[in-house]
């Protein structure tokens, strides 16, 4: 058994001229089509998307070769995470029970750019670069002079932005000889992405035959604790994870001590990301052959996601546009940070001055209603203490359909940026979000996941305001995934059975009262 000092419950039509042999995959941002874009198939099996350009020839958007670290450019550095036993800044060795060495280095790094490994880039080429699309039909539907663009991440194998960090996390674990990982997932997008990534790196597998036919015995094993509410709401996400070889448990579960404690106090608990994190961390911390992977919140996760914003900057330039407003949904912060952090760099450098807006669920409003304080990243108090906007580590949000946003805290780096005044935040109820989602789906054709519906709803608000003022603002939103596995939520909305879930102020205050009291 291996356990870190703090990992136990705390007392409290342009085609690149490069040959297809040299570049297996190339996807170009595209503008106003005179005709539909061509779809090309190449011998390697990868898809190349071409574009027909109206009046202007745009160059290809390349996949970034480096991740961007916003910490390097911030005027004030973010507060460090603390060891909950000593209340001293965490040391890299304190994290070694959970993460491989390279990810720990990235977590504490202050380097501006970090090279993306070639193996990771090779996998990224399956779906990157992702398209930046102007929502002209949505603009027409709501009769706005604003120009709305969305960066669409739903074309990845897992259907969301999550593989951007899942692939490098698994790769770094494999390089260190790790063969088992544990994780949590809310809506199932992160669990699906990690299961996909694990399946790619099964380099040493053997074919066996069972009564059900041949199958692969995976040597890289993944256990996923999925929040109970989403586990019940989204059965096909579970099947997706299992198809890629993961073992999925509903959380809270009887497998871990953390889960047992929750079920003893509330046998019908809907679970939360904080609880699921506790269970996954417990398994990793008490098994020497297992590491932990996290899909949001931490610095290295947001770092990996900056491929979104780096691509988008080039694509906006190709359109000849500069965003006036940038909007992203926030739960743990990875999608928001991935799009916005490179733009914040440009803002700090005086090149652009967009309004950057985070949108969170009204039922889980960590930025708009939470306290900026040191708190645990999980319910059981097994993680380091992180300075973040928090509703309290034992706050259990109501089971809204945006399961990926049901987290009690915000990424420390996003929280720090918010405190520096570089962004703003609002909260929106889920019925307004699904109303916007229906408008988006019926005009743009894409059915969004419940999480980015928050960004869509906020963009529609902004665009309607532009209709009143006559301003032709450029609005950029993060469309982080599709909603093909979330159709039961759409069914409820269309049948009139979806209701807004809020929170009781006394519930938040009771949870905030349990935040560790730090001595100034």
Summarised one tens digit per residue, pLDDT across range 399-418 is 555 555 767 889 999 999 99
Rounded Cα–Cα distance for residues 417 and 397 (Å): 24
Question: Could you check whether the bond before residue 318 is cis, i.e. omega within 30 degrees of 0?
Answer: no
Residue tagged 């342009």 (tokens): 14
Could you tell me if 64 and 116 are in contact, meaning their C-beta atoms sit under 8 angstroms apart?
yes
Residue 498 has what pLDDT? 83
pTM: 0.84
Rounded Cα–Cα distance for residues 272 and 227 (Å): 6
Residue 519 has what pLDDT? 54
Rounded Cα–Cα distance for residues 346 and 409 (Å): 27
Residue 139 has what pLDDT? 98
Residue 398 has what pLDDT? 62
Residue 508 has what pLDDT? 76
Residue 499 has what pLDDT? 80
> Within 10 Å of residue 212's Cβ, how many Cβ atoms?
6
Share of the chain above pLDDT 90, in %: 63
What is the distance between the terminal CA atoms of the chain, rounded to a whole angstrom? 36
Mark out the alpha helices in 125-272 (DSSP H runs). Answer: 136-142, 163-175, 189-200, 228-233, 235-243, 257-265
Rounded Cα–Cα distance for residues 25 and 61 (Å): 12
Q: Residue 21 in 3-state DSSP?
A: coil
Residue 187 has what pLDDT? 79
Q: In angstroms, how far apart are the furthest CA atoms of the chain?
A: 67
Helix (H), strand (E) at residue 182: strand 180-185
Ranges under pLDDT 70 in the chain: 1-60, 203-220, 397-404, 406, 502-504, 519-520
Rounded Cα–Cα distance for residues 244 and 221 (Å): 10
Mark out the alpha helices in 222-298 (DSSP H runs). Answer: 228-233, 235-243, 257-265, 273-285
Token pair of 450, please?
């419940």
Residue 221 has what pLDDT? 82
């Amino acid at each position: 058994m291996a356990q870190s000092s703090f990992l136990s419950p705390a007392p409290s039509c342009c085609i690149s001229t490069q040959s297809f042999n040299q570049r297996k995959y190339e996807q170009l941002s595209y503008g106003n089509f005179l005709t539909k874009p061509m779809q090309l198939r190449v011998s390697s099996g990868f898809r190349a998307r071409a574009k027909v350009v109206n009046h202007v020839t745009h160059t290809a958007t390349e996949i970034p070769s480096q991740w961007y670290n916003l910490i390097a450019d911030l005027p004030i550095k973010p507060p460090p995470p603390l060891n909950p036993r000593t209340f001293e800044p965490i040391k890299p060795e304190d994290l070694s029970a959970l993460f491989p060495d390279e990810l720990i280095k990235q977590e504490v790094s202050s380097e501006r750019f970090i090279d993306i490994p070639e193996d990771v880039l090779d996998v990224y080429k399956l779906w990157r670069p992702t398209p930046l699309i102007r929502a002209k039909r949505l603009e027409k539907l709501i009769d706005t002079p604003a120009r709305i663009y969305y960066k669409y991440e739903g074309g990845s194998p897992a259907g969301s932005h999550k593989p951007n960090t899942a692939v490098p996390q698994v790769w770094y674990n494999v390089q260190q000889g790790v063969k088992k990982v544990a994780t949590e997932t809310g809506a199932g997008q992160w669990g699906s992405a990690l299961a996909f990534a694990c399946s790619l790196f099964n380099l040493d597998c053997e074919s066996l035959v069972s009564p059900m036919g041949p199958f692969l015995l995976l040597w890289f094993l993944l256990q996923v604790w999925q929040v109970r509410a989403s586990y019940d709401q989204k059965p096909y996400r579970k099947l997706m994870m299992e198809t890629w070889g993961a073992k999925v448990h509903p959380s809270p579960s009887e497998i871990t001590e953390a889960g047992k404690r929750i079920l003893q106090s509330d046998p019908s608990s809907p679970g939360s990301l904080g609880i699921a994190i506790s269970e996954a961390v417990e398994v990793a911390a008490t098994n020497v052959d297992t590491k932990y992977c996290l899909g949001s919140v931490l610095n290295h996760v947001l770092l990996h996601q900056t491929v979104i914003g780096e691509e988008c900057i080039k694509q906006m330039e190709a359109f000849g546009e500069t965003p006036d407003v940038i909007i992203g949904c926030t739960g743990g912060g990875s999608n928001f940070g991935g799009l916005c952090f490179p733009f914040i760099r440009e803002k700090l450098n005086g090149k652009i001055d967009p309004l950057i807006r985070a949108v969170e669920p009204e039922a889980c409003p960590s930025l708009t209603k939470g306290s900026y304080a040191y708190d645990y990243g999980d319910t059981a108090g097994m993680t380091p203490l992180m300075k973040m906007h928090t509703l309290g580590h034992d706050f259990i949000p109501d089971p809204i359909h945006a399961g990926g946003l049901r987290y009690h805290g915000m990424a420390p780096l996003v929280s720090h940026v918010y405190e520096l005044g570089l962004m703003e935040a609002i909260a929106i109820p889920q019925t307004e979000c699904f109303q916007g989602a229906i408008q988006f789906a019926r005009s743009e054709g894409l059915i969004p996941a419940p999480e980015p519906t928050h960004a869509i709803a906020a963009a529609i608000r902004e665009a309607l305001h532009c209709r009143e003022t006559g301003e032709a603002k450029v609005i950029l939103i993060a469309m982080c995934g599709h909603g093909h596995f979330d159709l039961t939520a759409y069914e409820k909305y269309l049948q009139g059975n979806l209701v807004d879930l809020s929170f009781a102020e006394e519930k938040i205050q009771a949870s905030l009262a349990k935040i560790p009291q730090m001595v100034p």
